[in-house]
Chain A
Amino acid sequence: MVTRNGRSRRAAARTTRRSVLAGALAAVAGLAGPAGLDAQRWKTLTSARQVTGEEDLRVRVDYGAGVLTVRRGDAGELYSALFHFDEDWALPRAEYARGRLEVGLSASDGRDSDLGDWPDEASLDLELAGGVPLDIELNFGAGQAELDLTGLAVRKLVVNTGASESVIRVDEANPERMESARINVGAAGLRVDGVGNMNADRVAVKSGLGSVTLRLDGEWAHDGHVVVSMGLGALRLQAPRSLGVRLRRPGSFLASIETDGLEKRGKVYQSANWERAERRVEIEITAVLGSVDLDWIP
């Protein structure tokens, strides 16, 4: 199901991509200004590959800093990557071999990998095939990351982010049952929309410092299991009222948990509809210092 908001967000994403392309077009057409006027030497690289009978695709994205966007690509396209970066700072990588795709932007030789010095304007726009089962591992350093997994058949998801603002969005149900989704956040903000559409058996979120928002909406194909481990920060859970929710606190230290709408049953909190809910989600929270809030959404 594609929500209205989902459509608008995808349209916005397309607009963003077009704007990136427009900038790239200007650059490749030689309209970006003569060399030497700009201290930075921007480079644009596109890499695309067609689907040629691949049964699955293992994707590894290593991205230092900047803006990272991942979304579904056009039909028949296995992947498409659009890099825009300062070639003095970064080296692009887009390699495919035997069902394994490695895409990334790493520090060039002789450059300090300290992400704080990286130009913020660098970007990577990655589009992946919609009909090919995907194992995605994304390692993102700093900046902004938007993972729109809508329309992708994700079998496995691993996201490791550093100091970034990351958004993971799933507006449509994942046609592939996801074995697991592991999201590790260093010191950043993370928002995950459509956790139900992930079709994941288990979703694990580990946050060191920052805020994490998990929107448990979407089509739950089966009962889910969400594990959240937080160091210092805030966790906000947004759950549809139709969803049966059970919350466990196996270990919490100086963390406050707002459990409005949940009933305490022994050492667990569960929603009133737990017994009769079509789909249930068990949530385990381990927090050192911070807050845990649960909001109910229509």
Chain B
Amino acid sequence: MYRCSDPDRAARGSRLKPRHATAAAGGGRAPFMEVALPSRRMALLGVAAVLCAALPAMPAGGQERAVVSNQIEVSQSEASLHLEFSDGERLAIAFSGGRATVNGESLGSYELGGAADREWRSLLARVLPLSDGPLAEALTRWRPGPGLSVAERNLMAAVGGYLAGALAGAVQSNAPVPVEDDAQELLQAMARREDRDAFVRALDGVDAEALTVLVGRDHVVRAGTQVEGGILLVGGELDVRGRVRGDVIVVDGTLALGSGRIDGDVRLVDSRLRGSAGGVAGDVADMSERLRREELENAARIRAEVRRELSRPTRSSRPANSFVSRVRRASRVTFDALTAFVVTGLFGWLVTVLAGGRVGVVARAISRQPARSAVVGLAGGFAAAPAYLIGIAVLVATMLGIPLLIAWVPLFPLAVLAAALVGLVGVADHVGRWVLRRSRRWLDRRYPGRPSRVRLVGLGAMFVPWVAGAWLQVLPLTGGVGEALRVAGTVGFILALATGFGAVILTRGGVRPTGWVDPYDDFGDDGDGDDPW
């Protein structure tokens, strides 16, 4: 009978986990192993290891069971090893047709003639003439050689784990469960999925090196066994009845959790949990649902931001929500109105001084034909830009007109602007008179009646609705009235401009009076510009 005299090997044999850790430290990830954990057996193994270590001179030691029968079968498509131990347990490791199995259960796939196949055949070749002790020793000391891929290394590390465990007496018919390294299948599964985000998110923070990948098949973590590292199962059912010392990720499958225990987190991607999650030490997260929820939250947040952005007014049109901002806005309107009043008033005073008679003719035309003046003014306003462009075109087309073009380009707009302002002054004349009629005493006392002053009053009165509307909007309850007043003032000012501009056109710039002369008209057409008052 073969007995171990090597304390280290005895310890390896009695503690499968360090054996696996050794394999993992060899460059590959920790192999996925289920280790039988009958406490009594483990205790016995531990005692055996201690005894073997304490008595190195003893010929017998850590090998718990002798190999009473071995069978090696090798052909071009198959290479298998069958061991029978003294207690009747059997271990059958077969590499056949591209799939490695242990006691009939799949251990993983390999390439026929590949490095793993060659490695396995090489081991069998070495142990072929051996039996019992030398056979056990050769199998125990075997380590996968270099040149293996990660998957092959994992596969062979698992094989080595089984051999070591079996020779140490830790193998039971329901103990170590095959390892499957389905990296290739995983890539294909990921490539097939449309929502890879959940897939990828599920792997956040997971120790990928310790993760065992199972694709397209069911797997059971048996009661009384444990799995080192996490499990990623795609397209199958994972039935955890033992213990998983890591995270469990299930994609497109089912996680059955009865009396099992999971030390890490559980992440489900398009999968369902059957049973109670009480055995999960970490969090249980439905990554698909979480991702959908986050997507909905993101969409809602984006919509809210878009709405907020769309509803945010521009700087010019932003309503004065606060009192201070409303006061600031009213003040700004007042300042603008005063500026406009000063400019137009200065212009009106100059026009009155320089061509008071023509302004009087325009004012009378407005008085006599207000509607016609307004229509003509609107038409003239709309026609001004085309006329300007046509004039440029005509002058350009005619070689002789090019020198005139130099004057046309700046003077035409100025002429239109001057006409509009003259017309506005004419309208202001009427507005001033209207105001003065209602406040004659007060105005007479403070402003003796002169045309320039009347027109200043009229100009000022035309800006009053804007200023008043702005200040009414400062108050909380008169905001609507103020806004209406502001709109009315704008419309009135536009009408005033159009009417005045039309009157200027009708009177040819105040040169030709329109209609008959009312002898009782307050406006004496004396052409001297004197105030009739």
Choice from B68, B72, B113 contacting A30 with Cβ under 8 Å: B113
Point out the residues of chain B lying under 8 angstroms from A32, CB to CB: 76
Interface 0/1 of A74-89, CB less than 8 Å to B: 1011001000000100
Point out the residues of chain A lying under 8 angstroms from B124, CB to CB: 28
Q: Are A45 and B72 neighbours in the complex by a CB distance under 8 Å?
A: yes
Distance between Cα atoms of A41 and B78 in the complex (Å): 11
Q: Are A76 and B132 neighbours in the complex by a CB distance under 8 Å?
A: yes
Which residues in chain A, 50-80, are within 8 Å of chain B measured between CB atoms?
Answer: 50, 52, 74, 76-77, 80
Q: Are B71 and A30 neighbours in the complex by a CB distance under 8 Å?
A: no
Point out the residues of chain B lying under 8 angstroms from A47, CB to CB: 69-72
Q: Are B68 and A42 neighbours in the complex by a CB distance under 8 Å?
A: no
Closest Cβ of chain B to A20, distance in Å, is 10
> Does B15 sit at the interface, judged by CB under 8 A?
no
Which residues in chain B, 76-90, are within 8 Å of chain A measured between CB atoms?
Answer: 76-79, 84, 86
Choice from A24, A35, A50 contacting B132 with Cβ under 8 Å: A50
> Does A144 sit at the interface, judged by CB under 8 A?
no
Distance between Cα atoms of A139 and B373 in the complex (Å): 137
> Does B148 sit at the interface, judged by CB under 8 A?
no
Q: Are A30 and B117 neighbours in the complex by a CB distance under 8 Å?
A: yes
> Does A100 sit at the interface, judged by CB under 8 A?
no
Which residues in chain B, 1-31, are within 8 Å of chain A measured between CB atoms?
Answer: 1
Closest Cβ of chain A to B494, distance in Å, is 98
Point out the residues of chain A lying under 8 angstroms from B131, CB to CB: 48, 50, 74, 77, 80
Closest Cβ of chain B to A127, distance in Å, is 10
Known: A25-B125, A28-B124, A29-B122. A35 touches B68 (CB 8 A): no
> Does B128 sit at the interface, judged by CB under 8 A?
yes
Q: Are B129 and A35 neighbours in the complex by a CB distance under 8 Å?
A: no
Q: Are B69 and A46 neighbours in the complex by a CB distance under 8 Å?
A: no
**Who on chain B is nearest to A32 by CB?**
B76
Q: Are A43 and B75 neighbours in the complex by a CB distance under 8 Å?
A: yes
Closest Cβ of chain A to B145, distance in Å, is 13
> Does A94 sit at the interface, judged by CB under 8 A?
yes
Distance between Cα atoms of A34 and B76 in the complex (Å): 8
How many A residues are at the interface, by size bracket?
20 to 34
Distance between Cα atoms of A29 and B118 in the complex (Å): 6
Distance between Cα atoms of A74 and B129 in the complex (Å): 11
Q: Are A28 and B69 neighbours in the complex by a CB distance under 8 Å?
A: no
Point out the residues of chain A lying under 8 angstroms from B121, CB to CB: 28-30
> Does B74 sit at the interface, judged by CB under 8 A?
yes
Point out the residues of chain B lying under 8 angstroms from A42, CB to CB: 75-76
Point out the residues of chain A lying under 8 angstroms from B71, CB to CB: 45-48, 94
Choice from A34, A41, A74, A96 contacting B69 with Cβ under 8 Å: A96
**Who on chain B is nearest to A48 by CB?**
B131
> Does A174 sit at the interface, judged by CB under 8 A?
no
Which residues in chain B, 353-389, are within 8 Å of chain A measured between CB atoms?
Answer: none
> Does A49 sit at the interface, judged by CB under 8 A?
yes
Distance between Cα atoms of A27 and B122 in the complex (Å): 10
Point out the residues of chain B lying under 8 angstroms from A184, CB to CB: none
Choice from B66, B73, B75 contacting A41 with Cβ under 8 Å: B75
Distance between Cα atoms of A24 and B78 in the complex (Å): 14
Point out the residues of chain A lying under 8 angstroms from B128, CB to CB: 21, 24-25, 28, 44, 46
Closest Cβ of chain A to B131, distance in Å, is 5
Q: Are A45 and B73 neighbours in the complex by a CB distance under 8 Å?
A: yes
Q: Are A41 and B76 neighbours in the complex by a CB distance under 8 Å?
A: yes
Distance between Cα atoms of A187 and B230 in the complex (Å): 68
**Who on chain B is nearest to A33 by CB?**
B76
Distance between Cα atoms of A96 and B124 in the complex (Å): 22
Known: A21-B128, A29-B118. A49 touches B69 (CB 8 A): yes
6 contacts between A and B (CB under 8 A): A27-B75, A41-B77, A44-B73, A47-B72, A49-B69, A49-B84
4 cross-chain pairs, A with B, having the tightest CB-CB distances, nearest first: A43-B75, A28-B74, A35-B76, A49-B69
Extra contacts besides A46-B73, A50-B67, A50-B68 (16): CB < 8 Å: A24-B128, A28-B124, A29-B125, A30-B118, A35-B76, A35-B77, A41-B75, A41-B77, A44-B72, A44-B73, A44-B128, A46-B72, A48-B69, A49-B68, A49-B84, A74-B131
